[in-house]
Chains A and B, each alone.
Chain A
């Protein structure tokens, strides 16, 4: 089962504003790209020469905030009431 198929099973209250922002300039300088491995929701996907990012499927674990070596990531929780809503947990 693919991660995106799993995410489709979850309930999200979609936020209109991104709670994670990436500084593309700093991000482009990174060759380690730990976010691609550290994100359990595949929010960071390696495209040929850059990392493509989306926040909609975020599980709000906070891993990317810790492992970004470039400080390219601005991470906050989504606005109250938005984002992942677990039914089981």
Chain B
């Protein structure tokens, strides 16, 4: 079983809001100095899923991260958890905020890797929470996709997936090769063992550029209409407390209803 896991480095979700700020001019988050990015937590669960599949069915796990050269650290973490090989895909020409583009670049990467049975990724990256890269890639690669997996069972040429639904779950069966996006319900990602880390320290992690994967034209590719980021800002919350006055409960209730529907308190 050849498994490819896609992982993304994101701003540490444990950061308190005070630790980062937004460059409103360029619509960018300014990451806090000195606090390293982490593997997107859902992607870590995807690695866990790959490891469990490998433990059961055997095979090889390749981890791919599209991003900055610093993504090497999250790939190394995946290797420490038990993945077999890692690749960073990075090129200054890539616009990393466009999901279609990211899916295109990753698809090119997969084509260069060649053989695969299963592609796993997290249900969504915790930075933008879009959750579309996996499905778009399925379209590009013309393979079936199942999202929000909470359990995965591979057999010879097919895979059975339990999908999380709002009110329960459903079970699908797809032919391989396929793409699965993994949800947190799958289980906890393992913590790398110390020996795993030591082994991973010595691994070579190649960095593939646009040229290496034939994605030089990536920027010119049509964007089929994904929303564009207009304005990025940290919302401000204001709290106000006011006591209404009145003799009788009926009076108070009426005043409260009035207040709720008044312009002052209605949300903009």
Q: How far is the CA of A13 from the CA of B32 in the complex (A)?
A: 16
- What 1/0 mask marks residues of chain A from 58 to 69 whose CB sits below 8 Å from any chain B CB? 000000000000
Q: How far is the CA of A12 from the CA of B15 in the complex (A)?
A: 7
Is A70 an interface residue, CB under 8 A from the partner?
A: no
Is B18 an interface residue, CB under 8 A from the partner?
A: yes
CB distance from B106 to the nearest CB of A (A): 28
Is B34 an interface residue, CB under 8 A from the partner?
A: yes
In the complex, what residues of B have CB within 8 A of residue A87's CB? 19, 32-35
The contact size tier of chain A is: 10 to 19
Given A87-B33, A87-B35, answer yes or no on A11-B14 (Cβ-Cβ < 8 Å): yes
In the complex, what residues of A have CB within 8 A of residue B12's CB? 11
In the complex, what residues of A have CB within 8 A of residue B16's CB? 8-11
In the complex, what residues of B have CB within 8 A of residue A8's CB? 16, 18
In the complex, what residues of B have CB within 8 A of residue A9's CB? 16, 18-19
CB distance from A41 to the nearest CB of B (A): 15
Q: Smallest CB-CB separation from A14: which chain B residue? A: B14
Is A85 an interface residue, CB under 8 A from the partner?
A: yes
Interface size on B, residues (CB 8 A): 11
Restricting to A1-27, which residues have a CB under 8 Å from any CB of B?
8-14
Q: How far is the CA of A87 from the CA of B34 in the complex (A)?
A: 6
Decide if A81 touches B33 in the complex (CB within 8 Å).
no
CB distance from B26 to the nearest CB of A (A): 23
Is B191 an interface residue, CB under 8 A from the partner?
A: yes
Q: Smallest CB-CB separation from A85: which chain B residue? A: B35
Restricting to B119-159, which residues have a CB under 8 Å from any CB of A?
none
Q: How far is the CA of A65 from the CA of B77 in the complex (A)?
A: 33
Decide if B19 touches A11 in the complex (CB within 8 Å).
yes
Q: How far is the CA of A32 from the CA of B18 in the complex (A)?
A: 37
CB distance from B12 to the nearest CB of A (A): 7
CB distance from B45 to the nearest CB of A (A): 15
Q: How far is the CA of A14 from the CA of B12 in the complex (A)?
A: 12
Q: Which 10 A-B pairs have the closest CB atoms?
A: A9-B18, A87-B34, A13-B14, A87-B35, A11-B15, A8-B16, A9-B16, A87-B32, A11-B19, A11-B14
10 contacts across the A-B interface (CB closer than 8 A): A8-B18, A9-B18, A9-B19, A11-B19, A12-B14, A13-B14, A14-B14, A79-B191, A81-B191, A87-B35
Contacts A9-B18, A12-B14, A85-B35 known; 18 new A-B pairs at CB < 8 A: A8-B18, A9-B16, A9-B19, A11-B12, A11-B14, A11-B15, A11-B19, A13-B14, A14-B14, A79-B191, A81-B191, A85-B14, A87-B19, A87-B32, A87-B33, A87-B34, A87-B35, A88-B34
